[in-house]
Amino acid sequence: MAGPGGDMQWCFSQVKGAIDDDVAEADIISTVEFNHTGELLATGDKGGRVVIFQQEIENKNLPQFRSEYNVYSTFQSHEPEFDYLKSLEIEEKINKIRWLPQKNAAQFLLSTNDKTIKLWKISERDKRPEGYNLKEEDGRYKDPNSITSLRVPVLIPMDLMVEASPRRVFANAHTYHINSISVNSDEETYLSADDLRINLWNLEITDRSFNIVDIKPANMEELTEVITAAEFHPHQCNTFVYSSSKGTIRLCDMRASALCDKQSKLFEEPEDPSNRSFFSEIISSISDVKFSHNGRYMMTRDYLSVKIWDLNMESRPVETYQVHEYLRSKLCSLYENDCIFDKFECCWNGNDTVVMTGSYNNFFRMFDRGQRRDVTLEASRENSKPMQVLKPRKVCAGGKRKKDEISVDSLDFNKKILHTAWHPQDNIIAVATTNNLYIFQDKVN
Which of 66, 121, 177, 265 touches another protein by CB under 8 A?
A: 177
Terminal-to-terminal C-alpha distance of the chain: 15
Q: Which of residues 96-115 bind another protein (CB under 8 A)?
A: 114
| Residue 89 and residue 79 in contact, taking contact as beta carbons nearer than 8 Å | no
| Residue 85 and residue 132 in contact, taking contact as beta carbons nearer than 8 Å | no
Q: Does 90 bind another protein (CB under 8 A)?
A: yes
User: Assign residue 126 a region: left if phi > 0, alpha if psi is -120 to 50, beta otherwise?
Assistant: alpha
Which of 207, 220, 312, 386 touches another protein by CB under 8 A?
A: 220
Q: Does 413 bind another protein (CB under 8 A)?
A: no
Which of 105, 136, 274, 278 touches another protein by CB under 8 A?
A: 278
**Closer of 20 and 222 to another protein (Cβ):** 222
Q: Does 408 bind another protein (CB under 8 A)?
A: no
Q: Which stretch binds another protein (CB under 8 A): 14-22, 54-62, 215-223, 306-314?
A: 215-223
Which of 88, 147, 161, 318 touches another protein by CB under 8 A?
A: 88
What is the chain's Cα-based Rg? Answer: 24
Binding mask 309-338 for another protein (x = CB under 8 A): -----------------------x--xx-x
Q: How far is CA 314 from CA 251, 264, 266, 412, in A?
A: 10, 11, 6, 37
Minimum CB separation from another protein for residue 243, in Å? 12
H/E run at residue 280: helix 280-283
Q: Which of residues 222-241 bind another protein (CB under 8 A)?
A: 222-226, 228
Minimum CB separation from another protein for residue 343, in Å? 9
- Residue 381 backbone phi and psi in degrees, to 5: -65, -25
What is the torsional sign of CA 386, 390, 396, 400?
negative
Q: Does 359 bind another protein (CB under 8 A)?
A: no
H/E run at residue 334: helix 331-336
H/E run at residue 336: helix 331-336
Which parts of this chain interact with another protein (CB under 8 A)? 83, 86, 88-91, 93, 114, 176-177, 179, 195-196, 219-226, 228, 245, 278-279, 281-282, 285, 332, 335-336, 338, 341
